[in-house]
């Protein structure tokens, strides 16, 4: 009986000494976080442009050129943004795609299509139709000058409490802005 007790005591001691290694190994071996989305146009709550909202900057910089054929625009990058030109989105090529990050990962995506007053209409309504097919009917906002300041857009279409917007700017550029949080209700998490 004493021998059995000592054997159990030794086994428990080994188990507790190896517990930190077992925990670390189990956390690492559970698989890495899936930052890439399988669908090209997922629910805005999951992510945007093929990435989850928690995706780190390094993964976007490595994977986005592979997925979209985009070229890095490193001259515009900052410590929390990464930029690409000639990215493919909904069958169109963008002038600039800007990904912004916080400590917790991807927080916003801005896609800019350079157009002019002669060419904006076709592109704007093609993109609008495709976004309606994916995300449903938007809310439309038209800029009305009620205040002394000039508005910064002509028309805006938004989905999901402005988490996704299609905007026609005064310079006739077309922008798509996707956010990990609703600007109407503020961030879900504290990013500071």
Per-residue pLDDT of the chain (192 residues; tens, 9 = 90+): 555 656 666 655 665 555 555 545 444 444 446 777 765 556 788 888 888 888 888 888 888 888 888 888 877 778 888 899 888 888 888 889 999 998 888 999 999 998 887 888 888 899 999 998 888 898 888 766 556 566 777 888 988 888 999 998 888 889 999 998 887 765 554 443
Could you tell me if 78 and 25 lie in one domain?
no
Let me know if residue 189 belongs to a domain. Answer: no
Model pLDDT, residue 3: 59
CA-CA distances (angstroms) from residue 104 to 18, 70, 126, 187, 192? Answer: 31, 24, 34, 12, 10
Let me know if residue 185 belongs to a domain. Answer: no
Could you tell me if 79 and 15 lie in one domain?
no
Please say whether the beta carbons of 90 and 63 come within 8 A. no
The structural domain count of the chain equals: 2
Model pLDDT, residue 31: 43
pLDDT one-digit tens code per residue, 149-165: 667 778 889 888 889 99
Could you tell me if 144 and 60 lie in one domain?
yes
CA-CA distances (angstroms) from residue 87 to 58, 66, 129? Answer: 18, 10, 19
Could you tell me if 12 and 62 lie in one domain?
no
Let me know if residue 144 belongs to a domain. Answer: yes
Separation of alpha carbons 191 and 104, rounded Å = 7
Could you tell me if 5 and 86 lie in one domain?
no
pTM of the model: 0.74
Could you tell me if 114 and 169 lie in one domain?
yes
Model pLDDT, residue 170: 85
Please say whether the beta carbons of 157 and 124 come within 8 A. no
Give residue 9's domain range: 1-31
Model pLDDT, residue 108: 92
Q: Between the CA atoms of 173, 109, 140 and 122, what dihedral angle is there, to the nearest 10 degrees?
A: 40
Let me know if residue 20 belongs to a domain. Answer: yes
């Amino acid at each position: 009986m004493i021998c059995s007790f000592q054997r159990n005591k030794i086994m428990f001691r080994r188990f507790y000494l190896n517990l930190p290694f077992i925990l670390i190994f189990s956390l690492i071996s559970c698989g890495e976080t899936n930052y890439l989305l399988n669908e090209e146009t997922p629910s805005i709550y999951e992510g945007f442009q093929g990435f989850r909202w928690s995706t780190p900057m390094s993964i976007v910089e490595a994977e986005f050129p592979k997925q979209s054929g985009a070229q890095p625009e490193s001259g515009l990058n900052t410590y929390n943004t990464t930029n690409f030109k000639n990215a493919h989105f909904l069958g169109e090529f963008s002038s600039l795609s800007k990904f912004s990050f916080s400590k917790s990962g991807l927080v916003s995506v801005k896609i800019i299509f350079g157009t002019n007053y002669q060419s904006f209409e076709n592109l704007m309504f093609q993109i609008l139709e495709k976004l309606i097919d994916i995300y449903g009917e938007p809310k439309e906002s038209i800029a009305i000058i009620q205040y002394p300041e000039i508005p910064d857009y002509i028309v805006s279409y938004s989905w999901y409490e402005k988490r996704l917007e299609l905007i026609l700017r005064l310079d006739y550029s077309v922008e798509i802005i996707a956010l990990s949080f609703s600007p109407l209700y503020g961030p879900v998490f504290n990013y500071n």
